């Protein structure tokens, strides 16, 4: 939850099918973990590191299977990260804002 990150990015407010779908995929990631963190996607969805290199780092970590995470958790992270990778940076910030309730998805 980084409202400051959202402000620094210019508070993009893109609400479309892509950002709504990405927010749903983030929720699927969180449903896999009791501790409320994003597993392999942690540095992206928890810390708002939304650049390509951070997303790639997380995808590589998931593919290498470095953590003790269930296959369902790993797949949820990969689905989310690969989808986020397709979005523009403004769409990524908008997605995070939707997920963290800074922006309404209606």
pTM recorded for the entire structure: 0.93
pLDDT at 93 over 80: yes
Q: How far apart are CA 35 and CA 105, in angstroms?
A: 25
pLDDT tens figures, 14-67: 999 999 999 999 999 999 876 678 999 999 999 999 999 999 999 999 999 878
Sequence ranges of the domains in the chain: 36-101
DSSP secondary structure letters along 12-45: ----SHHHHHHHHHHHHHHHT-TTSS-GGGHHHH
pLDDT at 49: 96
Q: How many CB atoms lie within 10 A of CB 17?
A: 7
Q: How far apart are CA 40 and CA 74, in angstroms?
A: 7
* 36 dihedral zone (left: phi>0; alpha: psi -120 to 50; beta): left
């Amino acid at each position: 939850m980084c409202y400051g990150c959202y402000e620094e990015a210019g508070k993009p407010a893109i609400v479309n099918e892509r950002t709504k779908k990405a927010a749903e995929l983030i929720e699927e990631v969180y449903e896999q973990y009791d501790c409320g963190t994003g597993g392999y996607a942690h540095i992206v969805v928890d810390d708002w590191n939304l650049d390509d290199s951070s997303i790639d780092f997380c995808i590589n970590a998931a593919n290498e299977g470095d953590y003790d995470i269930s296959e369902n958790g790993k797949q949820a992270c990969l689905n989310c990260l690969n989808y986020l990778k397709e979005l523009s940076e403004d769409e990524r910030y908008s997605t995070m804002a939707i997920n963290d309730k800074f922006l309404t998805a209606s």
